[in-house]
Chain A
Amino acid sequence: EIQLQESGPGLVKPSQSLSLTCSVTGYTITSGYDWSWIRKFPGNKMEWMGYISNSGSTNYNPSLKIRISITRDTSKNQFFLQLNSVTTEDTATYYCARYGTHWGQGVMVTVSS
């Protein structure tokens, strides 16, 4: 059974970078599918941030394109999110997902000084 688990700091200061890790078990990320980062803001709004494909190509939401990077470590079966120059508007629960079908538990990230 595929499982995804996010990890990373729950508090980030404004103007710094947010870095999260998604660890995948039960499926090899190079075998198929796109591996996404999605966030849910306070109040229920969901935003797809971007993905890294099984081949390693990336696709980002244009609203984040200059700040976001998604990379991977295939030896550890993990993929990563880096979001630069964060503001309080980036406070959200961050999920990693296999496409939109299997989701991690999510990690709440607060941007605050």
Chain B
Amino acid sequence: DVVMTQTPVSLSLAIGQPASISCKSSQSLLGTSGKTFLNWILQRPGQSPKRLIYQVSKLYSEVPDRFSGSGSETEFTLKISRVEAEDLGVYYCWQGTHFPLTFGSGTKLEIK
């Protein structure tokens, strides 16, 4: 199975500060289609996970543009340009290139 390693485990940031979360995969996520199926989701407290980013850097329409994704092959990053209160929760990367699909261990974002 592809192991997804997320760092840091937790972040504590004030509103307005930038955030950066790293996700590394144990093998390349570049698929035979030429696409890289690396995704990010956010689970806010008491809620189900919500989609944020797909194929490394594509934001879903409802996601604010303070979120961005980057990376390739085995190293990926989620950035928030300026953290807002509603951004608290647990962020997960997950890969859909190889079966079984696998998730990172999560990064908890707390607001100071």
Q: Tell me if B39 counts as interface (CB < 8 A to partner A).
A: yes
A103 to B90, CA, bound (A): 15
- A5 CB, nearest partner CB in chain B, Å: 10
* Cross-chain contact of B103 among A47, A99, A103 (Cβ < 8 A): A47
- When distances are taken between beta carbons in the complex, the residues of chain B under 8 Å from A48 are 94, 100-103
A3-29 toward B: CB 8 Å interface, digit per residue (1/0)? 000000000000000000000000000
Q: Are A101 and B54 touching (Cβ within 8 A)?
A: yes
Q: Tell me which residues from 1 to 21 in chain B have a Cβ below 8 Å from any Cβ of chain A.
A: none
- When distances are taken between beta carbons in the complex, the residues of chain B under 8 Å from A101 are 51, 54, 60
Q: Tell me if A55 counts as interface (CB < 8 A to partner B).
A: no
Q: Are B105 and A45 touching (Cβ within 8 A)?
A: yes
A38 to B60, CA, bound (A): 21
A36-47 toward B: CB 8 Å interface, digit per residue (1/0)? 100000001111
Q: Are B48 and A100 touching (Cβ within 8 A)?
A: no
Asked, given contacts A46-B92, A100-B39, whether A63 binds B48 with beta carbons under 8 Å apart, the answer is no
Which residue numbers of A lie inside 8 Å of B, CB to CB? 36, 44-48, 59, 61-63, 95, 99-106
